[in-house]
Amino acid sequence: MKNKKTIMAFGAHHDDVELRCGGTLANYVRQGWNVIYTIATTTPYYRHSEQDIKEDRYPSNKEIIDIRKREAEEGAKILGISDISFFDFKSLYWYEDKSINLTHFDGIKNTCEDLARIDKEIPGREYIVSARFSKTATNFLMDFILSNQVDILLTHSADDVHWEHYAVAGFAFYVCKLLASKGKDIKLFHWPHGQGGTINSSFAPTRFIDISDTIDIKCKAVSVFKSQYPDRDTSRFVDHIIEQAKIYGKLCGFDYAEAFMDSANAFKENFSLPATYDATKAVIGID
């Protein structure tokens, strides 16, 4: 019999989990929950340092993926999470050989040769942008959720401006809807968009988590993603999340908070966003 509740964070890329719900996950680790950290894609996004360029050192796509996985493993460890899974769905981003030129396959400017190159050079399973439409992929995610007895799932917003963010969100929403039809209800919440950090027209928080006691842990975890800055200075990451946590904290009476929105209503045909936002109607906690 299951003795502990399980919360799962499902991020598109390495660093998404720490940035959007690191404080919340650290809280649940402290409470003794099973906390599962999952990354959807194999994205090789990397910022070459001045030293890299000076020494003519350009990591291959596969080497960059390994670097990012190591950073994610370190970030998860700082949050207190030992259960980390890389799903290795293909990203449509890649670097040209021995260059700093990052490109992506958008189906317009690219050629069939470009797609063949991604298939060859980027490891992984289905493309994340098509996972929602793949029976193999949806069965994989359903089996993962069921086998791990997930109670709460945190992920991206379905209208996030980043195409791989909303692909992950749509994938998660669809699978949870399938599970609900089979009698397995998952509490599904999404975090703010990848850009910005304030209330916007489509993100009106319904849940707040007090992370005043774990903000330092979150900052430390975010700081390991040095590959995302050419000067390897992650202070901009830290400054952003502190400012965002203060904004949400002011809305709910804490020094620092993370915000989420219930996704269950998105399954309803008559779902609509509120014309105005009232933070006093939000709930503290997600369990």
Q: Is the distance from CB of 273 to CB of 202 less than 8 angstroms?
A: yes
* Residue 86: C-alpha distances to residues 23, 41, 72, 98, 105 (Å): 21, 7, 10, 26, 22
pLDDT for the residue 56: 86
196 pLDDT band (50/70/90 cuts)? very low
Q: Is the distance from CB of 277 to CB of 204 less than 8 angstroms?
A: yes
Lowest mean pLDDT among 57-66, 213-222, 268-277: 268-277
In the chain, where do the E strands start and end? 6-11, 34-41, 83-89, 93-95, 102-104, 152-155, 187-190, 207-210, 257-262, 283-284
pLDDT tens digits, 221-271: 999 999 998 888 889 889 989 999 999 999 999 999 999 998 865 555 444
For residue 107, the Cα-to-chain-centroid distance in whole angstroms is: 24
pLDDT tens digits, 154-173: 999 887 888 899 899 999 99
**Most trustworthy range by pLDDT among 143-152, 162-171, 174-183:** 143-152
Report pTM. Answer: 0.90
Does residue 1 surpass a pLDDT of 70?
no
pLDDT for the residue 269: 46
Lowest mean pLDDT among 72-81, 140-149, 227-236: 227-236
Contacts 24+ apart (CB under 8 A), 226-233: 226/71, 227/46, 227/47, 227/64, 227/67, 227/68, 227/71, 228/15, 228/45, 228/46, 228/47, 229/47, 230/47, 230/48, 230/49, 230/50, 231/49, 231/50, 232/49
Q: What is the mean pLDDT of the chain?
A: 87
Nearest-CA neighbor of 190 among 74, 5, 17, 29?
17
Q: Is 35 helix (H, G, I), strand (E, B) or coil?
A: strand
Region 189-207 average pLDDT? 71
Q: Give the residue with greater pLDDT, 159 vs 86.
A: 86
Region 52-72 average pLDDT? 91
Q: Is the distance from CB of 24 to CB of 285 less than 8 angstroms?
A: no
Region 39-48 average pLDDT? 91
The fold for domain 6-284 equals Rossmann fold (3.40.50)
For residue 286, the Cα-to-chain-centroid distance in whole angstroms is: 17
DSSP H helical ranges for 31-162: 50-54, 61-79, 112-121, 135-147
pLDDT tens digits, 96-144: 877 888 888 777 777 788 778 778 778 889 999 999 999 999 999 999 9
**Angle, CA of 208, 211 and 212, to the nearest 5°:** 125
Q: Is the distance from CB of 156 to CB of 165 less than 8 angstroms?
A: yes
Does residue 218 surpass a pLDDT of 60?
yes
275 pLDDT band (50/70/90 cuts)? low
